[in-house]
């Protein structure tokens, strides 16, 4: 089936653009954004996903305000046109690719709406390809890039307008596509392996540069995916897609001090090892935890790619201090962090999702907390 984009010379397979290269039901194409102030007064995130083989498109906006997290969720039957990036009141406009994107959440039956503009501070950072097998099956095969930026526009909550000053409200975004587990749980024989997933991701904004770190590790602590680099700010005339100035590390290590009884970081040190030798160290101080549940991750009702009907909209809120951090749906968080790096103080996030064993952390069971 053709799409208007088939008129452009952008094909990567013999199929029309609308035809995914894989018939896997878990094929996806996704946007993610976050934004924050250094003092934690504002923290918000947006997620938007297309699952072409499931015929589902969904999106969420979630905001933390005064210790309460508010979330708006929307889902629909996926449209035929790939440039229709709209689910209910939530839409994304690519104003200038890799430089400026607009997120709009129009007034709706619930108390949360927004009109937000993300402008890039850095070029996009392509991360190493994510590939993982479960037994004989390829369960993750995706490409992702991360980009740092600032925010303007406004959020609206219960009639209060929250204006965003791009000098104060920074953040990051990512785009990823490929295959990963989404949608309704599959039936069949149980897996041959114990559930295990260790994921840390830290995009960090400073005044004169940005830092990127991410790692996936197996139960022994051996990385199967890892990325670490310093990222320059965009100058006048710089291309946002060229990798000039990005310094990719020869290796990286990290040390997490976990909060007792949880799988959430109390502090973290990241040690970069540049290709030319030496070390460069970053210290992270978590300030607040944002529940990724609020944008669909591990959500029992609004999970990514789940069929909710042709048009669905929902809203929820909760006090963060009342949540049990060891409930499975609360394991996945992004912690707003103060970051210290070679005399600089910056702000960023530390995303954490740790399920199952991880020997360096002392985790042995599926959900045991730190001692």
Q: What is the pLDDT of residues 250-271, one digit of tens each?
A: 999 999 999 999 999 999 999 9
The confidence band for 190, taking pLDDT boundaries of 50, 70 and 90, is confident
User: The pTM is what?
Assistant: 0.96
Q: How far is CA 121 from CA 70, 100, 154, 249, 351, in A?
A: 27, 10, 19, 21, 20
3-class DSSP state of 321: helix
Relative to beta strand 280-291, strand 265-273 is antiparallel
CA distance 314 to 304: 14
pLDDT of residue 272: 98
Distance (Å, whole) CA 83 – CA 106: 19
| pLDDT tier, 70 (very low <50, low <70, confident <90, very high otherwise) | very high
Residues 6+ apart with CB under 8 A from 187: none
Q: Is the dihedral of CA 320, 325, 331, 337 positive or negative?
A: positive
pLDDT at 57: 98
Residue 147 has pLDDT above 90, yes or no: yes
Kindly state the tokens that stand for 217.
Answer: 């590790």
Structure tokens belonging to residue 202: 């830290």
Q: Tens of pLDDT along 98-122?
A: 999 999 999 999 999 999 999 999 9
The pLDDT > 90 percentage for the chain reads 90
Q: What is the CATH number of domain 16-183+194-361?
A: 2.40.370.10
- What is the pLDDT at residue 359? 98
């Amino acid at each position: 089936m053709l799409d208007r984009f088939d008129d452009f010379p952008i094909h990567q397979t013999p199929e029309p653009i609308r035809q995914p290269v894989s018939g896997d039901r878990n094929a996806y194409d996704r946007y993610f954004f976050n934004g924050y102030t250094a003092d934690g007064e504002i923290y918000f995130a947006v997620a938007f996903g297309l699952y072409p083989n499931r015929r589902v498109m969904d999106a969420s906006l979630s905001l933390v305000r005064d210790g309460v997290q508010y979330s708006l969720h929307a889902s629909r039957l996926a449209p035929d046109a790939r440039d229709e990036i709209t689910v209910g009141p939530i839409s994304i406009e690519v104003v200038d690719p890799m430089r400026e994107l607009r997120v709009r959440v129009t007034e709706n039956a619930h108390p949360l709406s927004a009109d937000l503009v993300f402008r890039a501070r850095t070029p996009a950072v392509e991360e190493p390809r994510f590939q993982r097998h479960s037994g004989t099956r390829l369960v993750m095969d995706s490409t992702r890039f991360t980009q740092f930026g600032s925010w303007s526009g406004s959020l609206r909550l219960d009639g209060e307008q929250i204006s965003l000053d791009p000098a104060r409200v920074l953040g990051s975004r990512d785009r990823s596509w490929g295959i990963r587990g989404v949608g309704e749980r599959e039936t069949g024989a149980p897996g041959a392996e114990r559930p295990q997933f260790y994921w840390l991701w830290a995009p960090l904004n400073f005044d004169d540069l940005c830092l990127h770190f991410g790692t996936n590790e197996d139960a022994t602590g051996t990385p199967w995916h890892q990325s670490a680099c310093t990222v320059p700010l965009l100058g006048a005339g710089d291309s946002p897609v060229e990798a000039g100035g990005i310094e990719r590390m020869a290796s990286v290590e990290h040390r997490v001090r976990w909060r007792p009884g949880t799988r959430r970081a109390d502090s973290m040190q990241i040690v970069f090892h540049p290709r030319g030798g030496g070390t460069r160290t970053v210290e992270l101080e978590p300030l607040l935890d944002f529940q990724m549940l609020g944008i669909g991750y591990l959500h029992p009702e609004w999970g990514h790619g789940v069929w909710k009907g042709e048009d669905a909209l929902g809203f929820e809120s909760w006090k963060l201090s009342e949540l049990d951090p060891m409930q499975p749906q609360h394991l996945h968080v992004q912690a707003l962090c103060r970051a210290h790096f070679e005399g600089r103080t910056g702000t960023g996030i530390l995303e954490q999702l740790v399920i199952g064993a991880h020997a360096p952390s002392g985790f042995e069971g599926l959900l045991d907390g730190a001692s």
